[in-house]
Structure 1
Amino acid sequence: MAGGWSKDGAEQEQIENTLNDAVQRARSQLPHGASLKICEECGDPIPDARRQAMPGVRLCVACQGELDKKQSSVSGYNRRGSKDSQLR
């Protein structure tokens, strides 16, 4: 239900755009190419099992975990802060 100046289906379009942005961000972060034997970040060896399980890996488990923690703080559009949700 759209109201005011927004067109019908605007809410669903916003949700789909937010989802598509998140999917594109995740796809861009997938490893590609040949796996490295040495971690780019710390220089420790990357185990063969990790390199076989995830082709294109460039970081060891510890460094990847730290990177994942930093990236988890990135969020998409906060729809809860929109004016419409405050009126409900």
Structure 2
Amino acid sequence: MAGGWTSDTSVQDQIDATVEDAIKRARSQLARGPGLSHCEECDAPIPEARRKAVPGVRLCVACQEAEDEAGRAASGFNRRGSKDSQLR
């Protein structure tokens, strides 16, 4: 389906590369090591169930939600500027 100088698998190769990049980015953000018993931001106790469910946990649920929200606002990821959209 590709035309010109591109191979027939070029589009799929770029999609695969984009997915692999996203997986690497997500894995790099995973916490490592032992979790904390108290939140490093607000010093609230982190429940044992959360520490078992999320290895390497460092924040309580409230602080984690605030950090996630701040990360979404500051991520600046522009889908229109992604590699896949430039193929059109």
The reply to whether TM is greater than 0.5 is yes
* Equivalent residue number for residue 67 of structure 1: 67
Name structure 1 gaps, 5 residues minimum. none
TM-aligned CA deviation for residue 70 of structure 1: 3.0
CA offset digits 1:19-72 (Å, max 9, x no partner)? 001111111111211010121222222112211222210111011112222334
Corresponding residue for residue 11 of structure 1: 11
Alpha-carbon distance in 2 for matches of 1:11, 1:70 = 33
Question: How many Å apart are 1:78 and its aligned residue?
Answer: 5.9
Q: Which residue of 2 aligns with 1:36?
A: 36
RMSD over aligned Cα, in angstroms?
A: 2.0
1:20 paired residue number: 20
How many equivalent pairs are there?
83
Runs (4+) of structure 1 exceeding 4 A deviation are none
Identity of aligned residues (%): 51
Q: Once the 2 structures are TM-superposed, how far is the Cα of residue 5 of structure 1 from its aligned partner?
A: 3.2
- Taking structure 2 as the reference length, the TM-score comes to 0.76
Q: Distance in 2 between matches of 1:16 and 1:2?
A: 16
Q: RCO (CA 8 Å, sep 6+): is it higher in 1 or 2?
A: 2
Provide the rounded CA distance (Å) in 2 between the counterparts of 1:13 and 1:71: 29
Superposition pairs of residues 42-81 of structure 1, within 5 angstroms: 42-73=42-73, 74=75, 75=77, 77=82, 79-80=84-85
